[in-house]
Amino acid sequence: MDAILVRGGGPLSGSIPIAGAKNASLALMPATLLSEEPLTLINAPRLSDIRTMTQLLQSLGAEITTLQEGRVISMSCHGDINTRAEYDIVRKMRASNLVLGPLLAREGYAEVSLPGGCAIGARPMDIHTDGLEKMGASIDLRDGYLYAKAAGGRLKGAVIDFPFASVGATENIMMAATLAKGTTVINNAAREPEIVDLADCLRRMGAQIEGDGTPSITIQGVDRLGAATHPVVTDRIELGTYMLAPAICGGEVELLGGRIDLIGAFCEKLDLAGIDVTETEKGLKVKRRGDRVKAVDVTTEPFPGFPTDLQAQMMALLCTAEGTSTLEEKIFENRFMHAPELIRMGAKVDVHGGKAIVTGVDKLKGAPVMATDLRASVSLILAGMAAEGETKVSRVYHLDRGYEHVVAKLRGVGADIERIKDE
């Protein structure tokens, strides 16, 4: 098993290219199930989660070719479809449940294992299944599988009111509704950029969708979808993560492909902490204004609020801020598992349920730490880059799910970091 070795150093300088969004790609790829014609994604990230989704779609009958070292994914689902998504693949990644809606829409039937994923709290499927049942599907849970069947072989349009703005459920219902008979309205829909990106792709395929990016999305079902080529939106979580590198270490870094509109609430908190973010022709440039950042309070919320997927990285920054910060996690439970590891590095963090109180210290100290999930992995790397001495981050297989070439990208701006075998 690999580990990441980080030695605290000086300020950073240079540029980091930001990949296409992992979370967008994992929703875009199942859209190929909706059409017999090719779907090509460009600007795709090169991640283990993408390989897992590729494996899943191939098991369902999709033909998939990767080009340009994985940056282009060409998919076609023109043959017979296997409607059973097996546990052995689905268990590796929660986003695997996004094949349920497309399979049900195209074939009128689906057998999909309940998903797995990293341990940051429960993400129940009932909001997905309740929406599909309103569209005329009957769904049974047996032996860990969802058995779904559309009445009459085709889903029907419906008005669906979500109890909360679930990204995955919005994506699943939106895809299912593209081939349903009639009109579907999703109220309290998620508004994330990945939702808008999926809607853009589906429109390129011939879907009729309005209102994406707002709390109410309307989809008029069509009889068939066609071919499309679609550029994946910039990964706002990778963007925010690397924006924190110069904020923590000092220096100035340009994030190629970065856009403020993708992470406006995050940028507002950086400004309050004493970090300048400026737009350039190529992306965003980030620079810390003083020697230390200032404490800020953060509450995670659905988009356009502060992203839960940047909470762990923000905590790493605030560990050396002047003053005391409060981080409140409102999206997932169990998402402060990185706090004990930061404490091993000298941080002062006090967790009470969904809140963490962080009192800044002058300097963190290198230590052996263990990653508990994807975002925790990179938060510990960021902390290690600013710490005195050497930090070894173990169990970094989580990292490969969401960050491509993290060592090379950080080395490119001056970080002292390497990937090693963990003994």
Residues of the binding site for UDP-N-acetyl-alpha-D-glucosamine:
94, 309, 331
Distant-in-sequence, close-in-space partners of 357: CB < 8 Å, separation ≥ 6: 324, 325, 326, 349, 350, 351
Query: Residues forming the annotated binding site for phosphoenolpyruvate?
Result: 22-23
Token pair in block for residue 38:
């090719």
Long-range contacts (CB closer than 8 Å, 24 or more residues apart) made by 279-283 = 280/254, 282/15, 282/254, 282/256, 282/257, 283/15, 283/18, 283/254, 283/255, 283/256, 283/257, 283/258, 283/259
Residue tagged 């429109």 (tokens): 203
Assess contact for 414 and 251: CB atoms under 8 A: yes
4 bridge partner residues: 393, 419
Q: Are strands 109-113 and 145-150 parallel, antiparallel or unpaired?
A: antiparallel
118 is catalytic: yes
Query: Residues forming the annotated binding site?
Result: 22-23, 94, 309, 331
Residue tagged 């689905």 (tokens): 90
Q: Is 353 left (phi over 0), alpha (psi -120 to 50) or beta?
A: left
3-state secondary structure of 184: strand
Catalytic, out of 77, 118, 267, 319: 118
Assess contact for 391 and 415: CB atoms under 8 A: no
Token pair in block for residue 226:
């066609």
Share of the chain residues as helix, strand and coil, in percent rounded to the nearest 5: 35, 30, 35
List residues with catalytic annotation. 118
